[in-house]
Structure 1
Amino acid sequence: MDFTSVDHVELYVGDAMLSAYFFCHALGFRMVAHAAPESGLEGRRSIVLKQGSSRLVVTSALGATGPVAEYVREHGDGVKDVAFATPDAAGAFAEAVRRGAKPVMEPVTYEGAGGRVVKATIAGPGDLVHSFIQRDGATSGFLPDVYLPLETPPMGEELFTALDHVALCLERGTLMDAASFYRDVLGFEQTHEENVRTEYSGMNSRVMQTAGGRICFPMQEPYTGTRRGQLEDFLVAHGGSGVQHLAFLAPDIAHAVDALRRSGMKILDAPPGYYESLESRLGDLGGFGREALQERNILMDRDAWGHLLQVFTRTQHARRTLFFEVIQRQAARGFGGANIQALYEAKERETLRATR
């Protein structure tokens, strides 16, 4: 099981063009390829978006039936596939199935003027799937002979260099089974554990990563409290387990936050009093001023290697499910353990505000 990176993340959405416009206008992506029935993609339309090394695919159905339409009816717009790059897609697929994975698509080869790509797919938690993508040589196309190049001018500046991690929200009681799946079937390692409790609810979480941390899944399940928490609200709105947020790596988080706000994105407020103890908790702030952080609701933590800075957007989705994280790492390797409680409380306040 040799996975080198996340090859792409595919979202099933109600309207691919509207979703592509959102990602380009609000988050700095650009459209680089597309596919539809006229190019050989039956029953759906897909647009490939790129920024830095991260690649997103937004796909919508062209009819009322079929897997894309059924997914959107069940979950709303959401992440369907987190695909892994590998030098041997067929071998990884066979080994994963041998270890107990449920096969979704046997290896298929796409070959044309744009190169050669092998793709195979297995089932993950909930309705999430994982495709294995093998790209031989300098493949210029997303899937040769299916996806066509798309030249569009950028709608905004690039803000991110890479996808940092993909966070999963899981049904209560399934966290350990999911962790075992990524460990025993896909060869990931558990690197972090956090358990959060608030006045009303809480969560248990694990972080599963490939060796070297090139692919990372923070995963959380709700803890039973006195009130339904924000994870349970996600699970109800989404219709089960799924991807709760995508985290993008930024070289300058303050600049990224300013650009996101100008494009209309809302940032989650930091918990009351969060910045009052920042210097006493962290000491050196890595060259950042407390006022600049507070003005932008940027959270900060540090580990043995360096500083970590994070902000979280408010969800833009009708069901209030998927949202985004912007993260800057000053050599830090962790996930802001001291900020996980802050994020949970911020999301809980947002949920309470939305229900009033």
Structure 2
Amino acid sequence: MVARSIPFIELYAGDHERTVEHLTTELGLSRVAEAAGRTSRAVLLQQGTLRLVVTSGDGTEDFLEAHGDGIADIALACSDVTGTRAAALAAGAADLGATGDAPVVSGFGAVRHTLVPESRAGGLPPGREWVPVADRQRPAARIRLLDHVAICVEGGSLERHVEFYAAFGLQRYSSEFVDVGDSSMDSVVVRSASGEVTFTLVAPGSTTGTGQLDAFLRRNDGPGVQHLALLVDDIVAAVTEAAARGVVFLQTPAPYYDALAARFPDIPEEIGRLRATNVLADRDEWGYLLQLFTTSPHPRNTLFYEFIQRHGARGFGSANIRALYEAVERDRPAVP
């Protein structure tokens, strides 16, 4: 009666061609299958175990009008679909019917969860007639899996969401509070026992309404997925190649690297290579990690991506949260 993995994530997009182009040509995912109707289009993309469904057309209009391009469904592969559905409904989820033979329940904001039996986690997403495709365009396979999903919710609602996801078997893993100027961010990480489902729940920590999370909630018309973190084995190569293909990454303050050599005298990556690619580094008691955010490729700036490389570290870059937060603050428009 618990969530074990994320078999796919569904992204609604207003400009289907441009979104698929970004995810394939720029981020490097490959087309696996397509499902097209008279008034709708869907394509399944994959690299490593990460699988994204990009959907446009019929059935997406209301979501897109309210929220812009964004994640509409985080599917969960469950050890007991019937039991997980019952637990979710008891915790306050709404019954949204079914997609094919897979039950669907509400999650946060307008995002839903399709519940898939664990035995079918590697199959095609339910509810469509998929046609397999052979993608001739296959960039270097840098993305290994989905490391975590960052979810932005309203201030003061973190504990309610933590309790809600306990019904899916996700338990509190860590928490963090960052105060930057007149805005702040509060966060709690919940994770499945399998380690394959990790949600980083973030919320405004102040009442000024001026921070980047407040701006996201306004642009998105409520809670939603802020970013997807993609695990890679060589972040310098991944960032270099993605940037050459057109992906735009956030810029890191130059003084950050002046202190990095003192903080990390023993990391094998040369500080100069990290500086050249704007990659940040952090460590915990288990090891260290490297990470970097993209800017949003979507019109309403509602979703972006993170590359992350782990060398034993189990955390999420707590020492980098301030630097990343400040980088996003500089990148976002002055007027939401």
Please list the CA deviations of residues 174-214 of structure 1 after superposition, one character each: whole Å capped at 9, or x if unmatched: 2221111112x212111111111111311111111111421
Residue 235 of structure 1 pairs with residue 217 of structure 2: yes
2:25 — aligned with what?
25
- Asked if structure 2 preserves the Cα contact closer than 8 Å seen for 1:93 and 1:107, the reply is no
Aligned-CA RMSD value: 2.1
Cα shift at 1:100: 3.3
In structure 1, which of residues 303, 307, 314 is the aligned counterpart of residue 295 of structure 2?
314
Alignment-derived partner of residue 187 in structure 1 = 169
Name the structure 1 match of 2:139: 156
Offset from partner CA, 1:261-310 (integer Å, 9 cap, x none): 1011111111341112223334422x111111111111101111111100
Letter in 2 for 1:300: A
Work out whether residues 90 and 107 of structure 1, in 8 Å CA contact, stay in contact via their aligned partners in 2.
no
Structure 1: gaps (5+ residues):
110-118
Matched residue, 1:112: none
Please say if 1:35 is aligned against 2:30: no
Specify the alignment match of 2:330 in structure 1. 349
Change (3 A) 1:324 1:146: same
Separation (CA, whole Å) in 2 of partners of 1:282 and 1:212: 31
Structure possessing the higher relative contact order (Cα contacts under 8 Å, 6 or more residues apart): 2
Normalised by the size of structure 2, how large is the TM-score? 0.93
Cα distance in 2 between the residues matched to 1:18 and 1:141: 23
Q: Deviations over 1:17-66 (max 9, x none)?
A: 3321220011000111111227xxxx52211001001100011114xxxx
Matched, 1:70 2:62: yes
Shift of 1:105: 1.9
The CA distance in 2 between the partners of 1:72 and 1:215, in whole Å, is 26
Question: Mapping of 1:45-194 within 5 angstroms?
Answer: 45-62=41-58, 67-106=59-98, 108-109=100-101, 119-134=102-117, 136=119, 141-143=124-126, 146-183=129-166, 185-194=167-176
Query: Which residue type is aligned with residue 204 of structure 2?
Result: P
Count of paired positions: 336
Change (3 A) 1:340 1:293: same
CA distance in 1, matches of 2:226, 2:46: 21
Determine the structure 2 residue equivalent to 1:327: 308
Kept in 2: contact 1:141–1:148 (CA 8 A): no
CA distance in 2 between counterparts of 1:140 and 1:3 reads 16
Distance 2:180 2:254 in 1: 14
**CA deviation map 1:303-324 (0-9, x unaligned):** 1111110011111111122110
Give CA deviations for 1:82-103 in whole Å, capped at 9, x if unaligned: 1111243233223322343221
Q: Unpaired runs of 5+ in structure 2?
A: none
1:232-264 CA-to-partner distances (Å, cap 9, x unmatched) read 111111111100000000011000000111011
In 2, the alpha carbon distance for the partners of 1:108 and 1:36 equals: 16
* Superposed displacement of residue 222, structure 1: 0.9
Secondary structure (helix, strand or coil) at the match of 2:252 reads coil
For 1:175, the aligned partner's letter is L
SS at match of 2:129: coil
| Alpha-carbon distance between aligned partners in 2 of 1:297 and 1:124, rounded to the nearest angstrom | 34
TM-score, length basis structure 1 = 0.88
Do the aligned partners of 2:99 and 2:114 also contact (CA within 8 Å) in 1?
no
Secondary structure of 2:332's match?
Answer: helix
Whole-angstrom CA distance in 2 between matches of 1:144 and 1:206: 33
Alpha-carbon separation, structure 2, partners of 1:13 and 1:161:
24
TM superposition shift of 1:143: 3.5
CA distance in 2, matches of 1:143, 1:82: 13
8 Å CA contact retained: 2:150, 2:225: yes
Label 1:144 to 1:207 Cα distance change in 2 as closer, same or farther (>3 A).
closer
> Residue 227 and residue 12 in structure 1: after superposition, are their counterparts in 2 closer, same or farther (change >3 A)?
closer
2:99–2:127 CA contact under 8 A, matched in 1: no
Instruction: Choose 82-91 or 230-239, whichever is displaced more.
Output: 82-91
Runs of 4+ in structure 1 displaced over 4 angstroms?
A: 135-140
The one of 207, 232, 257 equivalent to 2:239 is 257
Deviation at 1:145, TM superposition (A): 6.6
Find the aligned partners of 1:349 and 1:141 in 2 and give their Cα distance: 40
> Which whole-Å CA distance do the structure 2 matches of 1:145 and 1:322 have between them?
25
SS in 2 for 1:274: helix
